Structure 1
Amino acid sequence: MTHHIKEIVGSIIFTTVAGLILWPPRGNYWAKIFDKFGGGTILTIALFLLSIILGAVFGRATDIQLSNYIIGGIGAYVIGMVGIEIGIDPISPVHFIWYGGLLACLIGGVAASSYI
């Protein structure tokens, strides 16, 4: 049981840090990149591919059980969304979609890591 808890807590930490790096709630560097290169479709795809790769690297490095990662990832998502709602008071709910997409890609990467 302790092993599962360690994996879940590790997943919460990894997912939170990955989310903050990939899409910081403030000072969003991706918006600046989108503005510089015009349009965001390719850059958004690159961001999601990077998320998949990060998830795969984490999954491969830790040999984590997918179910434990999903529990921890959802925990990190909930903590992050509550933090954004309380700390930033966003003007739209788009962060729920973006971070949900990042989480889905991270989970996909962890799932794929067992096949790499």
Structure 2
Amino acid sequence: MEWTAVATARELGRRRKLRVEVDGLAIALFQTEGRVYAFADLCVHQDRSLFKGTLLHGKVICPGHQWQFDLETGHEADQDRCQPTYPVRVDDDGTIYVNLAPETVPARTAEEART
């Protein structure tokens, strides 16, 4: 895995969210309950910036049509689409690293969604 330094915990700060760009790729960082998560910033639905969304109950809510993406997986429970996420590592000095290879988990099948 190739890790890229994208920000510091201080930059993420109290707002708990930050938009960064790495080699032209926009990434939205979110912090909640002591963990940092990284998402492709543009929503898979209509290219809205997730950075402008809301963090609520372990989900980031897109400001466009209120799709709710799980912070752990990028899944949207009511849709068959998944938002690309990236592995995150935070060093002891507060540097936030992201692996730029998306960690998208395949969307659940209709049968799996019913169980």
TM-score bucket of the superposed structures, by smaller chain: under 0.3
Structure with higher Rg: it is 1
Higher strand share: 2
Higher helix share: 1
Q: TM-score w.r.t. structure 2 length?
A: 0.25
